[in-house]
Chain A
């Protein structure tokens, strides 16, 4: 019994990390259509920001979450202004440009902070385990689950219930028409990109106490994030939520009953098969084209 609960919690925990990492990517891609290959590096920069705030200013992880979001949103905003805004509607160029930004970010961090693995302390009150229905689980993992759901809810509310979100959806459906009604599309894009980068930074900071922090850590996360977004459907927030849930539970159970190597292969295979028959992903937003 407790193993079943443990395994369920494990799946949810994997899912919550997947969703944290994928949410920013989904927001950026869903709205602006930019495939941001530097997303993994935004995650990495967030983790390094947590490390820097901790070692330079002695700030705990929880206290540094808000500054990290602001710093990374500023980074995203700058990247949008300097590079992305000049490349809209040029898909291949944005892929190349964001990839280049990612490589530069990796090397910049390596030069500034060195190549060794870095340590970010887990918040003291969360570094123990708790018991749920007879199964023990890490308090910190539950905390990540909670934060991931909260961030999803915030994003959902912004998207569905604010004036900004209304403009967002209008642009997503038809940019030309939306612009002709006086919506400043480039401003909306800029804010979206900043928000997505801020989310990525939060993801990096939050996973850093469970995993390791290194200049190359982003590469793995960007692959995971793309899996989630591709499976969920590129313009659907609900799709992101559902597909991270499915992928998390699936890889958790497969890894439990076989091993992580096989689980990874099978999950990728499942996605390939699904995309073959349903290229738009599980969920689709109705968009007039």
Chain B
């Protein structure tokens, strides 16, 4: 009996193997290569739902799912439904790589939307490059990356700083205190910031990094009291942002004379620190929740309706949302039998749409996105007041701090 069952299992397994490898060419155009079988387009959704960065990545997952549901409810892409395969990489870069491999190889997704931290993006990058698949990365990041397998829809340093830094120097002064969390993103942002400050004749009085997750800023605050800088340029991330603002406020420092200028403080962090600690400080980003445009009202309403009235949208969840719509626009141009990561990449080049922040465009050369940088000042009610928007959309230049390097469609070039 036992033996019979075992041989039965063996036979089934053998049959399965044959059907997988035995006749590779019959259905390949539709099922294996094109990966759009049965009127379905499979995409991966790879944001941490547990672990340290789940706090923020949950909202990216929600924005992505919302966009997919909207597209499906409106009839899908040329009649095909998008099927999201959601994985939880648990805030761990190694798990990111493992789940990415699963999404690409066994689920045969044509694209994966995912990642918040640079560490997780760097971890999955080899998977997407080796399998020649596409990764859609919604986060603002440090730039200095050039891959034909990643679509970058968040801001790079030049898009957050080109307007922001001169504006701050003009309004507050030339003594700058740079503080960030101790990893690559703050260091690259500060690199670019120092370059801009040097051009403007401003002075960096200190540049300092605190451990990731650090929450005790009293010594930093004493240094601020001693140095009295005009601007505190902050690239501290995550819950450290909350601790820094709350302790700054509790120590009685005044944002009117020594404001924090942040690239990383969004509505999300502000909700956790309370309006009183956030009021008066500045953030530069292409998107704020209060941005007044029909597309943004629609996005915010839909998000709240789907996920709860107390939820906020922010400058990483907005690209998470619009990049799915860009994906749709690109796939729409393709025949159902021709949907592959390669064809999607070619189709998305130069693709434009009116996103909640304004009209965005994928730069064909480096697959980054043309965006609309804005300067917001946080108010006591926890929302930002937008003081300034750049006069026109800004080109993404991922190697702006490195003038002898340029990212092109053929890869990184030395100039």
A interface, CB within 8 angstroms of B: 3, 6-7, 10, 13-14, 17, 107, 110, 114-119, 121-122, 127-129, 136-141, 209-214, 216-217, 220, 251-253, 255-256, 259-261, 263-264
Q: A116-B271, A116-B272 are in contact. Are A138 and B216 (CB under 8 A)?
A: no
Within the assembled complex, what's the spacing in Å between the Cα atoms of A209 and B221? Answer: 17
A127 touches B239 (CB 8 A): no
Within the assembled complex, what's the spacing in Å between the Cα atoms of A32 and B218? Answer: 35
Query: For residue A114, which residue of chain B has the nearest CB?
Result: B58
Query: For residue A107, which residue of chain B has the nearest CB?
Result: B50
Q: 8 closest A-B pairs (Cβ-Cβ)?
A: A129-B252, A117-B272, A255-B219, A138-B250, A212-B242, A212-B239, A10-B218, A260-B210
Query: For residue B272, which residue of chain A has the nearest CB?
Result: A117
Query: What is the CB-to-nearest-CB distance from A80 to chain B, in angstroms, rounded to a whole number?
Result: 28
Query: What is the CB-to-nearest-CB distance from B127 to chain A, in angstroms, rounded to a whole number?
Result: 26
The B interface, classified by DSSP as helix, strand, loop or mixed, is helix
* Residues from chain A with Cβ under 8 Å of B211 in the complex: 260-261, 264
Which has the most chain A C-beta neighbours within 10 Å: B219, B221, B250, B273?
B219
A216 touches B52 (CB 8 A): yes
Choose among A17, A119, A128, A209 the residue that contacts B271 (Cβ–Cβ < 8 A): A119
A256 touches B55 (CB 8 A): no
A259 touches B242 (CB 8 A): no
Q: In residues 10-56 of chain B, which contact A (Cβ within 8 Å)?
A: 49-52, 54-55
A116 touches B250 (CB 8 A): no
Q: A138-B251, A255-B220 are in contact. Are A117 and B269 (CB under 8 A)?
A: yes
A117 touches B243 (CB 8 A): no
Query: Per-residue 0/1 for B253-272: is the Cβ within 8 Å of any A Cβ (1 yes, 0 no)?
Result: 00000000000000011011
Within the assembled complex, what's the spacing in Å between the Cα atoms of A13 and B220? Answer: 14
Query: For residue A106, which residue of chain B has the nearest CB?
Result: B50
A119 touches B218 (CB 8 A): no
Which has the most chain A C-beta neighbours within 10 Å: B54, B210, B222?
B222
Q: How many residues of chain B get a CB closer than 8 Å to chain A's CBs?
A: 41
* Residues from chain A with Cβ under 8 Å of B249 in the complex: 127
Within the assembled complex, what's the spacing in Å between the Cα atoms of A26 and B108? Answer: 53
Within the assembled complex, what's the spacing in Å between the Cα atoms of A261 and B179? Answer: 12
B210 touches A259 (CB 8 A): yes
B391 within 8 A of A: no
8 examples of A-B residue contacts, CB within 8 angstroms: A7-B219, A115-B55, A121-B274, A212-B243, A251-B219, A252-B218, A252-B219, A264-B214
Choose among B55, B182, B226, B246 the residue that contacts A209 (Cβ–Cβ < 8 A): B246
* Residues from chain B with Cβ under 8 Å of A209 in the complex: 246, 250
A217 touches B226 (CB 8 A): no
Query: What is the CB-to-nearest-CB distance from B394 to chain A, in angstroms, rounded to a whole number?
Result: 30
B250 touches A127 (CB 8 A): yes
Q: A110-B50, A116-B58, A127-B250 are in contact. Are A6 and B239 (CB under 8 A)?
A: no
Within the assembled complex, what's the spacing in Å between the Cα atoms of A213 and B271? Answer: 12
Given A129-B252, A211-B243; 9 other pairs, CB 8 A cutoff:
A107-B50, A116-B55, A122-B246, A127-B250, A129-B250, A139-B250, A214-B55, A260-B208, A261-B210
Query: For residue B207, which residue of chain A has the nearest CB?
Result: A259
Q: A3-B225, A138-B252 are in contact. Are A127 and B218 (CB under 8 A)?
A: no
B219 touches A10 (CB 8 A): yes
A117 touches B246 (CB 8 A): no
B122 within 8 A of A: no
B271 touches A117 (CB 8 A): yes
Choose among B182, B243, B271 the residue that contacts A210 (Cβ–Cβ < 8 A): B243
Which has the most chain A C-beta neighbours within 10 Å: B210, B242, B246?
B246
A14 touches B272 (CB 8 A): no
Query: Per-residue 0/1 for B188-229: is the Cβ within 8 Å of any A Cβ (1 yes, 0 no)?
Result: 000000000000000000001111011110111111011000
B72 within 8 A of A: no
B389 within 8 A of A: no
* Residues from chain B with Cβ under 8 Å of A211 in the complex: 215, 239, 242-243, 246
Within the assembled complex, what's the spacing in Å between the Cα atoms of A255 and B54? Answer: 29
B118 within 8 A of A: no
Within the assembled complex, what's the spacing in Å between the Cα atoms of A95 and B54? Answer: 26
A220 touches B218 (CB 8 A): no
B117 within 8 A of A: no
Q: In residues 153-173 of chain B, which contact A (Cβ within 8 Å)?
A: none
Choose among A7, A118, A253, A261 the residue that contacts B272 (Cβ–Cβ < 8 A): A118
Within the assembled complex, what's the spacing in Å between the Cα atoms of A10 and B219? Answer: 7
* Residues from chain A with Cβ under 8 Å of B332 in the complex: none
Query: For residue B271, which residue of chain A has the nearest CB?
Result: A119
Which has the most chain A C-beta neighbours within 10 Å: B54, B209, B218, B252?
B218
Query: For residue B214, which residue of chain A has the nearest CB?
Result: A260
* Residues from chain B with Cβ under 8 Å of A260 in the complex: 208-211, 214, 216, 219-220
A216 touches B251 (CB 8 A): no
Query: For residue B58, which residue of chain A has the nearest CB?
Result: A115
* Residues from chain B with Cβ under 8 Å of A261 in the complex: 182, 209-211
Query: For residue A18, which residue of chain B has the nearest CB?
Result: B216
Within the assembled complex, what's the spacing in Å between the Cα atoms of A17 and B216? Answer: 10
A119 touches B274 (CB 8 A): yes
A217 touches B251 (CB 8 A): no
Query: What is the CB-to-nearest-CB distance from A285 to chain B, in angstroms, rounded to a whole number?
Result: 30
Query: What is the CB-to-nearest-CB distance from B180 to chain A, in angstroms, rounded to a whole number?
Result: 11
Q: In residues 136-166 of chain B, which contact A (Cβ within 8 Å)?
A: none
A14 touches B216 (CB 8 A): yes
B276 within 8 A of A: yes
* Residues from chain A with Cβ under 8 Å of B58 in the complex: 114-116
A6 touches B225 (CB 8 A): yes
B408 within 8 A of A: no
B216 touches A214 (CB 8 A): no
